[in-house]
């Protein structure tokens, strides 16, 4: 850890690995084995990093890859709120590292800098007796390197910070931001998290294309509902809600990735 980093938040028990398959797989196994809330598994490299919909996540040394075990005692329908908590923490960390950059959240799980994907979230969960038993929040941030030829155009943070960004610095900032945003959610619920997320949202008020399991929708991105679902208005004026899908930003009302 660099000398100027703030102390690592007490909330976490940090497990550091040089290399692993996937920190999400490790954290999931740890959660199943009873690991406490705040267990944070950080690996310098992943050999089998993965993202949403089974996509692989390029995970070289120099980028940040970590997964956090949470055990909030909430109803299953609230589990999805954690994606917004994590997205805010990730944007806080990116904004701290590259203060002049345009850092945005793209629904549901992407972090953008200057309209390109710099990070992603992968949330896994277990429900027991109609409560959330555990959640694993996986966060990947491209600090030093980004992949080419990916569906969503990517970037890495050092390009926007104008300097090299040490992974330890990224880890410290992200951990601090996550502890603060999670505390906000636990103490005050989803409403302030939702408002803060909307402040950072990419593409709000603009045209989006949403790829669903077997179809697509195009419409105006109106924001997120009180339950975190995506709200859009179709060209004929019909309001629609979407619970899962991939979003492509079609114009530049606010910055965001365009289809790859």
Angstrom distance (rounded) from CA 122 to CA 259: 20
Stretch that binds ligand BTN, among 138-146, 187-195, 225-233, 241-249 (CB under 6 A): 138-146
Which residue intervals of the chain are DSSP H helices? Answer: 23-32, 81-97, 157-161, 167-188, 190-199
Cβ partners under 8 Å of residue 14, min gap 6: 8, 40, 42, 175
Residue 67's nearest CA partner among 17, 9, 112 is 17
Beta carbons of 112 and 118 less than 8 angstroms apart:
yes
Question: Residue 37 Cβ, how far from ligand BTN at the closest point, in Å?
Answer: 18
Three-state SS for 115-135 is CEEEEEEEEEEEEECCEEEEE
**CB-nearer residue toward ligand BTN: 122 or 167:** 122
Stretch that binds ligand BTN, among 6-14, 17-25, 90-98, 246-254 (CB under 6 A): 17-25
**CB-nearer residue toward ligand BTN: 169 or 246:** 246
**CB-nearer residue toward ligand BTN: 7 or 54:** 54
Stretch that binds ligand BTN, among 21-29, 75-83, 179-187, 248-256 (CB under 6 A): 21-29
Q: Which one of residues 44, 45, 52, 131 is an interface residue with ligand BTN (CB under 6 A)?
A: 52
Is 64 strand, coil or helix? strand
Q: Which two tokens stand for residue 158?
A: 């050092």
Question: For ligand BTN, what does the binding mask look like between residues 84 and 123, x meaning CB under 6 A?
Answer: -------------------------x----------xxx-
Beta carbons of 257 and 116 less than 8 angstroms apart:
yes
> What count of other Cβ atoms lies within 10 Å of the Cβ of residue 240?
14
Q: Which one of residues 35, 50, 82, 172 is an interface residue with ligand BTN (CB under 6 A)?
A: 50
Question: Residue 2 Cβ, how far from ligand BTN at the closest point, in Å?
Answer: 22
Stretch that binds ligand BTN, among 44-52, 127-135, 170-178, 231-239 (CB under 6 A): 44-52
Question: For ligand BTN, what does the binding mask look like between residues 156 and 185, x meaning CB under 6 A?
Answer: ------------------------------
For residue 220, with 0-12 CB atoms within 10 Å meaning exposed, 13-18 middle and 19 or more buried, which class applies?
Answer: buried
Question: Residue 120 Cβ, how far from ligand BTN at the closest point, in Å?
Answer: 2
Q: Kindly determine how many residues on this chain lie close enough to bind ligand BTN according to the rule CB under 6 A.
A: 20
Residue 113's nearest CA partner among 82, 81, 141, 151 is 141
24 binds ligand BTN (CB under 6 A): yes
67 binds ligand BTN (CB under 6 A): yes
Is 45 strand, coil or helix? strand
- Give residues in contact with ligand BTN (CB under 6 A): 22-24, 46, 49-52, 55, 57, 65-67, 109, 120-122, 138-140
């Amino acid at each position: 850890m660099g000398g100027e980093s703030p102390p690592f938040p007490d909330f976490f028990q940090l497990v550091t690995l040089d290399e692993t398959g996937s920190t999400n797989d490790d954290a999931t196994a740890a959660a199943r084995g009873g690991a406490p809330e705040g267990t944070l598994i950080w690996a310098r490299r992943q050999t089998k990093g993965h993202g949403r919909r089974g996509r692989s996540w390029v995970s070289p040394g120099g980028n940040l890859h970590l997964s956090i075990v949470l055990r909030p005692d909430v109803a299953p329908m609230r589990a999805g709120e954690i994606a917004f908590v994590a997205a805010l923490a990730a944007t806080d960390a990116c904004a701290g590292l590259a203060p002049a950059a345009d850092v945005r959240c793209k629904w549901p799980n992407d972090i953008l800098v200057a309209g390109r994907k710099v990070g992603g979230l992968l949330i896994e969960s277990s429900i027991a007796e109609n409560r959330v038993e555990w959640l694993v929040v996986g966060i990947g941030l491209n600090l030093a390197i980004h992949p080419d030829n990916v569906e969503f155009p990517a970037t890495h943070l050092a390009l926007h910070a104008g300097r090299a960004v040490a992974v330890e610095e990224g880890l410290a900032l992200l951990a601090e931001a996550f502890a603060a945003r999670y505390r906000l959610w636990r103490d005050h619920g989803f409403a302030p998290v939702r408002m803060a997320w909307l402040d950072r949202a990419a593409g709000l008020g603009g045209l989006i294309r949403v790829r669903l399991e077997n179809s697509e929708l195009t419409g105006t991105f109106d924001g997120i509902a009180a339950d975190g679902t995506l709200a859009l208005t179709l060209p004929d004026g019909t309001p629609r809600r979407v619970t899962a899908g991939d979003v492509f930003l079609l114009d530049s009302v606010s910055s965001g990735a365009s289809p790859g």
